[in-house]
Amino acid sequence: MFRARSIQSSLSLKDKILSIDYVLVISIFILGLLSILAMYSTDGGEFKYHTNSHILRFFVFFGMFFVVSFIQIRFWHSQSYLIYILFFILLLGVKYFGLTSSGSKRWLDLYFMNLQPSELMKIGLILFLAKYYHRVSIENINQIRYLFLPVVVLISPIILVATQPDLGTSLLIAAGGITVAWLAGVRVKFFAISGFAFLALLPIAISFLKPYQKSRILTFLNPERDPLGAGYQIIQSKIAIGSGGLFGKGFLQGSQSYLDYLPEKHTDFIFTLFSEEFGFFGSLFILLLYALIVWRIVKIGNVTRSNFGKLYCYSFATAFFIYVVVNMMMVLGLLPIVGSPLPIMSYGGSSMMAIMLGLGIAMSCKIYKDTPVN
Amino acid sequence: MLNPSSGNTVIKSKLIGRRMFLLSAAKAVVMVGIIGRLVTLQINERSKYKTLSDKNRFREWKLAPERGVIKDFFDKEIASNEQVYQVHLIPENSKDIEKLFVRLKTILNLTDNRLVYLKRVIAKQKPWEPIIVSDNITWSEFSRLNLFLHELEGVKPVVSVARMYPDNSSAHILGYVSQASVKDLETKKYLKDLHVPGMSVGKTGLERKLDEKIIGKIGFQRYEVNAFGKRVKQIQINEGQAGESYKTTLDFEVQKYTNELLKDKAAAVCVMDVYNGDIVSMVSSPGFEPNEFVHGLDKKYWNDLIKNELRPLTNKTISGLYPPGSTIKTLVALSALENGVIKPLDTFRCKGKIELYGEKFHCWEKDGHGIVNLRKGIQRSCDVYFYEVARKLGVDRLSETAKKFGLGKKVLNGFIEERAGVVPNTKWKKKFIGQNWYLGETLHSGIGQGYFQSTPLQLCLMTAQIANGGFEIKPRIIFDEKNNRLRDYIKYKNENPNDPLPTDLLLSNFELKPLFKNQEHINLIKDAMFSSSNEPGGTSYRHRWENKKFTFAGKTGSSQIKRFTEAQREAEVKQESLPYKDRDHALFVAFAPYNNPQYAISVLVEHGGSGGKAAAPIAKKVIKKVLERHELRKKINSLIGESV
């Protein structure tokens, strides 16, 4: 089926390659290289497990990005619901066959890799809702019965992920979904109402939180509350970043990281490590790359003809932006430690896969910008 | 619914665009927020976080410096260092400290008290700071510990150096070292950045006086440690600096000899070079074992020391205060001569006592000395003669002379244990006792009793300044190449007997400060002291040296503890039959050789009875010993340019 549609496309391979957004591709590639540098530093300046496997993943999924890009946007549109359902089934699978690590069940053992379906769901939900709101006419968008389905597809995976438990990822999934709904024109009123409902339900939700999650929130409010316990991560991360100064301590010279003061330096705190070694200007450069990526995706949204493409690109760009800033604000001590990877930079196959899939679909919107989706 | 019109699609895409614009604006705001945060952390507060990061990164272990050694005049170490075996423990390296202590207790025979103490120390300090479990274990304990080391995580066997005194004869003047107390750390500024667990500080004597210099500079090892406290690499090592070593003027051989002589007595001996003030010997008895203090004092030993009535911890040479007794008569006579109150040949009749101001004043010779002049007064130590002289002289003029010769003030620098003593006069009594001076008290002062209080060192200095012809010298214990020019002056005088230069000018040329108006008076006193020691009837005649090489001139003294009652006096009670505590202190001061004075000596024997019997024999032996070593000493003095 996929092959048949591809042939139907009127674009030659040369056209496709020419219409790729090279600024976006180069930004992603540079970011990937920087992430390899950072990973190399976390391994203490050697090519060890984390570095090697990160390099492999980056290039494999970077390749996948091109494959996804060259697939017709019409395909992604038509298969959106199916993709969502597939990811949802994987999430359900986690619930029953998942691997448990440090108290939470997030992974599926696929023999060649441990897949974290909640990461994929970040893209799946955006795809689903983009298609849904593409199809709903503008008059009906704010009718209650048309709100029913989005709420269900939004809430279901969130609950599944939150009970893994993985509060951070569930909130990030929700952020992507809500963005689509809002961009599609759902009235502010509905967000306000559900916001109030959320606040009303918050005490009940808190009672379901695990003690470590409660402690993280309290610690965020006052990191010095328990400097050697839950506040340790925030304090050490701030020390690492702050001590980096303007130019950083130099590549492989981040004392906070190689002396193991920095927790989870491969994953959530990779920006901290980078910032310690390359300082304010290094951090600014990373921020610039991310901003460039976000801007290019938004630009694709501007030029793509279909509302599906626009909704997808805008929402993905926003979600991508949120992933980045949530992670950064977390390591900068502006948000509680909720456990969210930094796109592309952080170690983690599922996150890399999800982000590359998301970027690929956005690039597909660019290549097939004039192709109607239905 | 599924096939929206194209107009609819355009409206929708415009709506989407509008909302996206709002979102983009929000993103820009968040971006600015993040950059702002980076600016705050990495630019504004970077020094704060840099410090915090370094604090994480580095840990320092301080190394105790090696204490400087103290040597005697002949470069023999009298306070040296020895290798000791120690057991250190770094609490954070031990997984189960309780279990570790149980093991250590059996291996090292630690007491329960010690364990309680160690746990208290651990609770107070940082987990990576080492504590000293034992600071001086035997070789066999040390090897046993090394055998079990693999199961004693956190324990570190250390070979270190510690203070060692080869002999206890100089215990008082050297003082002792011991672990710094809380009070030491609070009061001594130089210890502030210096303190290392297990470092010894000087508590008394020279060890304390020289502590700041002798203690050395602390070393440190700075390591980079990881988050689990493990040392990753050595960043910096500073060996510190061993403390300065000091050479003293003491003669170790004389110290040992004198200490042996004073064994079992409560006594003190000072010997001084009369020209440059070098203290050759300074021994107080009974002594104590200074090595006991270095590695934590045994409680029983400490209790024995502080309960001992002979006060072994007191350096009697500088902290013991005794009435100078008859030794002061030299100064009374000198003062009277200088003030023109008497002439050398003026006589008084001693009938054994005189009555003045309604009080009886006794001479020690019950039957009296008959007709007495100055020479005989000193030779026989006639009290009545000096009552008369003192009465004429008055206490204020006497005190002036006494102070000039070094009584009533501290004469050695920097010893906290040194005491000043008292030279009484009318003003002093008014100020400190609040009463007017009684004339009777002048008479008591004239024979060195009453309010007079002096240390054996002061008496030695007094004698030395008489012996050298009446010039001021400053006692010193630290070897100093800069010499008093008194010897040069004497040499010059001997070589140019007919020098026309006026004495005043000559003295100022040699930067000397004379303590006399007429040097002839000093010679009279010296001659009288000679007769006291070397002519029949002299109070120390029995203990003279016939050999000219050792001949000394001295003055005995007994300082009364308790006044004799009339009844005791009638019964002619002997000192020996009194209870120990009531017996007089025996004193003797002398200088030798008489013809060419080199050294002055003072001897005190607490409750020894009379100076002639108890103190003079000791002085006699010490003088011989010192003079036998004079040639050796002279050699070193001439090396540094002192003319002899």
Distance from the Cα of residue A206 to its chain's centroid: 25
Chain B stretch 119-138, residues whose beta carbon is closer than 8 A to a beta carbon of chain A: none
Which of A78, A243, A277 would best serve as a mutation to test chain B binding (most B beta carbons within 10 A)?
A243
Q: Which residue has the tokens 């700071």?
A: B129
In chain A, which residues have their Cβ closer than 8 Å to the Cβ of B22?
Answer: none
Interatomic CA distance for residues B301 and A365, integer angstroms: 94
Domain-embedded: residue B589: yes
**Nearest Cα residue in chain B from A318:** B23
Query: How close does chain B come to A221, measured CA to CA in Å?
Result: 17
**Nearest Cα residue in chain B from A135:** B2
Which tens digits make up the pLDDT trace of A197-241?
888 887 777 777 777 777 766 666 665 555 556 578 888 899 999
Work out the percent of chain A whose per-residue pLDDT is above 70: 93
Q: Per the CB < 8 Å rule, is B224 touching A284?
A: no
The DSSP code for B322 is B
Structural tokens at position A152: 């269900």
Backbone angles phi, psi at A341, to 5 degrees: -75, 160
Which tens digits make up the pLDDT trace of A79-90?
999 999 999 999
Same domain, B452 and B553: yes
Structural tokens at position B283: 């021994």
Q: Per the CB < 8 Å rule, is A240 touching B53?
A: yes
Domain-embedded: residue B114: yes
Distance from the Cα of residue A4 to its chain's centroid: 31
Q: Per the CB < 8 Å rule, is B23 touching A137?
A: no
Which of B11, B37, B53, B231 would best serve as a mutation to test chain A binding (most A beta carbons within 10 A)?
B53
Same domain, B275 and B190: no
The DSSP code for B65 is P
**Mean pLDDT in each 10-residue stretch from start to end of chain B (644 residues)?**
61 90 94 95 92 84 86 93 88 82 85 86 80 86 85 82 91 91 83 76 92 87 78 79 92 95 93 93 93 86 91 94 94 94 92 87 89 93 94 93 94 91 93 90 91 95 94 92 80 78 74 88 94 93 92 92 76 81 92 93 92 91 94 85 68
Q: Per the CB < 8 Å rule, is B43 touching A244?
A: no
Same domain, B223 and B262: no
Which range, of A92-101, A179-188, B120-129, averages the lowest pLDDT?
Answer: B120-129
3-state secondary structure chain A: CHHHHHHHCCCCHHHHHHCCCHHHHHHHHHHHHHHHHHHHHHCCCCCCHHHHHHHHHHHHHHHHHHHHHHCCHHHHHHCHHHHHHHHHHHHHHHHHHCEEECCEEEEEECCCCEECHHHHHHHHHHHHHHHHHHHCCCCCCCCHHHHHHHHHHHHHHHHHHHCCCCHHHHHHHHHHHHHHHHHHCCCHHHHHHHHHHHHHHHHHHHHHCCHHHHHHHHHHHCHHHCCCCCHHHHHHHHHHHHHHCCCCCCCCCCHHHHCCCCCCCCCCCHHHHHHHHHHHHHHHHHHHHHHHHHHHHHHHHHHCCCHHHHHHHHHHHHHHHHHHHHHHHHHCCCCCCCCCCCCCCCCCHHHHHHHHHHHHHHHHHHHCCCCCCC
Same domain, B455 and B481: yes
Q: Per the CB < 8 Å rule, is B1 touching A135?
A: yes
Domain-embedded: residue B547: yes
Selected residue with higher pLDDT from B527 and A4: B527
B10 at A interface, C-beta within 8 A: no
In chain A, which residues have their Cβ closer than 8 Å to the Cβ of B13?
Answer: 307, 310
Of A244, A256, A318, the CB nearest to B23: A318
Say if CB A71 and CB A6 are below 8 A apart: yes
Domain-embedded: residue B13: no
In chain B, which residues have their Cβ closer than 8 Å to the Cβ of A256?
Answer: 53, 56-57
B28 at A interface, C-beta within 8 A: no
B230 at A interface, C-beta within 8 A: no
- Which residues does A257 contact at the CB level (< 8 Å), separation at least 6? A41, A42, A240, A265, A272, A273, A276, A277
Asked whether the bond before A165 is cis by omega within 30 degrees of 0, the reply is yes
Of A246, A307, A334, the CB nearest to B13: A307
Domain-embedded: residue B16: no
Q: What distances in angstroms separate CA B414 from CA B208, B314, B474, one per listed residue?
A: 9, 16, 13
Environment class of B400 (CB within 10 Å of its CB; exposed 0-12, middle 13-18, buried 19+): middle
**Nearest Cα residue in chain A from B27:** A321
Of B9, B19, B225, the CB nearest to A182: B19
Of A280, A287, A314, the CB nearest to B43: A280
pLDDT value of residue A2: 45
Q: What distances in angstroms separate CA B188 from CA B31, B79, B173, B184, B203, one per listed residue?
A: 56, 22, 21, 6, 11
Q: Per the CB < 8 Å rule, is A260 touching B24?
A: no
Same domain, B102 and B118: yes
Same domain, B267 and B294: yes
Interatomic CA distance for residues A12 and A323, integer angstroms: 35
Which tens digits make up the pLDDT trace of A133-170?
999 988 888 888 999 999 999 999 998 998 887 888 99
Same domain, B522 and B628: yes
Q: Per the CB < 8 Å rule, is B12 touching A334?
A: no
* Strands B70-71 and B246-247, bridge-based pairing: parallel
Residues of chain B by 3-state class (helix, strand, coil), percent to 5: 45, 20, 35
The answer on pLDDT for A5 being more than 50 is: no
HSE of B210, CA atoms in CB hemisphere, 13 A: 26
Report the complex ipTM. Answer: 0.91
Element holding B94 (H helix, E strand)? none
Asked whether the bond before A117 is cis by omega within 30 degrees of 0, the reply is no
CA dihedral A278, A283, A288, A294 (to 10 degrees): 130
In chain B, which residues have their Cβ closer than 8 Å to the Cβ of A241?
Answer: 38, 41-42, 49
B57 at A interface, C-beta within 8 A: yes
Q: Per the CB < 8 Å rule, is B49 touching A243?
A: yes
Interatomic CA distance for residues B462 and B454, integer angstroms: 11
Same domain, B80 and B105: yes
B7 at A interface, C-beta within 8 A: no
Q: What distances in angstroms separate CA B338 from CA A136, B331, B388, B517, one per listed residue?
A: 129, 10, 16, 6
Cβ atoms within 10 Å of B382's Cβ, excluding its own:
27
What's this model's pTM, rounded to 2 decimal places? Answer: 0.68
Environment class of A297 (CB within 10 Å of its CB; exposed 0-12, middle 13-18, buried 19+): buried
Element holding B357 (H helix, E strand)? none
pLDDT value of residue B74: 93
B50 at A interface, C-beta within 8 A: yes
Same domain, B133 and B281: no
pLDDT value of residue B628: 94
Structural tokens at position A6: 């591809």
Q: What distances in angstroms separate CA B562 from CA B382, B565, B583, one per listed residue?
A: 20, 9, 8
User: How many contacts, defined by CB atoms under 8 Å, are there between A and B?
Assistant: 134
Angle at which helices A307-331 and A349-367 cross, to 10°: 150
The per-residue DSSP string of B179-212 comes to: EPPHHHHHH-GGGTTT--TT-EEE-SHHHHHTHH
Query: How close does chain A come to B245, measured CA to CA in Å?
Result: 42
B226 at A interface, C-beta within 8 A: yes
- Provide the CATH number for the domain around residue B624: 3.40.710.10
Say if CB A275 and CB A260 are below 8 A apart: no
Tell which of B247, B268, B301 closes a domain. Answer: B247
Same domain, B334 and B293: yes
For B487, the 3-state DSSP assignment is helix
B26 at A interface, C-beta within 8 A: no
In chain A, which residues have their Cβ closer than 8 Å to the Cβ of B229?
Answer: none
Q: Per the CB < 8 Å rule, is B42 touching A184?
A: no
In chain B, which residues have their Cβ closer than 8 Å to the Cβ of A260?
Answer: 226-228
**Nearest Cα residue in chain B from A316:** B20
Same domain, B240 and B272: no
Q: Largest Cα–Cα distance of chain B, in whole Å? A: 153
Say if CB A366 and CB A19 are below 8 A apart: yes
**Nearest Cα residue in chain B from A146:** B1
How many domains does chain B divide into?
2
pLDDT value of residue A1: 39
Of B13, B34, B38, the CB nearest to A325: B34
Tell which of B194, B219, B247 closes a domain. Answer: B247
Q: What angle do CA B604, B607, B613 make, to 5 degrees?
A: 65
Domain that holds residue B155: 59-247
Tell which of B230, B247, B264 closes a domain. Answer: B247
Interatomic CA distance for residues B435 and B584, integer angstroms: 27
Q: Per the CB < 8 Å rule, is A183 touching B16?
A: yes
Q: What distances in angstroms separate CA B257 from CA B253, B401, B501, B551, B616, one per listed residue?
A: 6, 34, 45, 20, 16
Element holding B511 (H helix, E strand)? none
Beta bridge partners of B554: B590
In chain A, which residues have their Cβ closer than 8 Å to the Cβ of B12?
Answer: 138, 184-185, 307
Domain-embedded: residue B124: yes
The answer on pLDDT for A8 being more than 50 is: no
In chain B, which residues have their Cβ closer than 8 Å to the Cβ of A275?
Answer: 38, 42
In chain B, which residues have their Cβ closer than 8 Å to the Cβ of A294?
Answer: 27
In chain B, which residues have their Cβ closer than 8 Å to the Cβ of A182?
Answer: 19, 23
Environment class of B45 (CB within 10 Å of its CB; exposed 0-12, middle 13-18, buried 19+): middle
Same domain, B220 and B325: no
Q: Per the CB < 8 Å rule, is B27 touching A294?
A: yes
The answer on pLDDT for A4 being more than 60 is: no
Domain-embedded: residue B514: yes
Fill in the amino acid letter for B238. Answer: N
Q: Per the CB < 8 Å rule, is B42 touching A279?
A: yes
- Which residues does A202 contact at the CB level (< 8 Å), separation at least 6? none
Query: How close does chain B come to A372, measured CA to CA in Å?
Result: 12
